[in-house]
Structure 1
């Protein structure tokens, strides 16, 4: 079994706690679905959010969906002029037999524009 990193991002409609929680759950669920991961495969996850999102922590959304024993961390994304607004990003580390090149990184709701090179 190897450790693999998987990336993802989702753009939100608004800065609202429910929206942050639901979008984070959608992002994490889609990462699991597309890669065949379970919550037990996750070692850790680091979430960032753009400076215009402050209604809740993305990690709270992951906790609500059952990531209760996985170390999670949040931070603010660098405030770059002209950057896409209202984005939650994640870099998660998982245990997997998948070759690195087969890991599917997930970009949703317009966030595909952030990484067209790896967005599925």
Structure 2
């Protein structure tokens, strides 16, 4: 079954190095906690809020060696109450677990986007 794994992170400034570093950290953690390797990934969609434009976050996938995983970058909607300086990821991967058992990853300031999932994940590890 193809499942979606969500993740998000934030950066302090529109800096290419920081965007790539945080995005690499995020995608590696998403793969690790879900036991996914690149051969199981169908594709990865990356979005960034409109206040970020220093680099393509999808470049992070190439930097970790995921050369054959199809990736695409998009702009996040410019919603007035949206979280600024945010990179979001939707990784589609072949998983055998139930939808409720997929572990989504929210790091740094992005934890506020899905505090319910972060809390549930911490409880299940408890």
Q: Which runs of 5+ in 1 are unaligned?
A: none
Aligned to 1:112: 111
- The alignment yields a C-alpha RMSD, in angstroms, of 1.0
- The answer on 1:51 being equivalent to 2:50 is yes
Superposition deviation, residue 80 in structure 1: 0.9
Q: Which residue of 2 aligns with 1:82?
A: 81
Name the CA distance, whole Å, in 1 between partners of 2:78 and 2:20.
Answer: 22
1:64 counterpart residue number: 63
- Quote how far apart the aligned CAs of 1:11 are: 0.7
Partners of 2:3 and 2:35 in 1: CA distance: 13
Partner-residue secondary structure (3-state), 1:52? coil
Is it true that 1:25 corresponds to 2:28 in the alignment?
no
Task: State the 1:103 CA deviation.
Answer: 0.5
The aligned length equals 119
Spell out, residue by residue over 1:26-46, the C-alpha distance to the aligned partner (whole angstroms, 9 max, x if none).
Answer: 000110111111122111011
CA contact (8 A) 1:21 1:62 kept: no
Structure 1 stretches of 4+ moved >6 Å: none
Q: Which residue of 2 aligns with 1:40?
A: 39
Question: 2:15, 2:51 → 1: CA distance?
Answer: 11
SS in 2 for 1:15: coil
- Normalized against structure 2, the TM-score is what? 0.90
In the alignment, structure 2 segments of 5+ residues that lack a partner are 122-126
Find the aligned partners of 1:43 and 1:108 in 2 and give their Cα distance: 23
Aligned to 1:93: 92
The structure with more helix, counted as a fraction of residues? 2
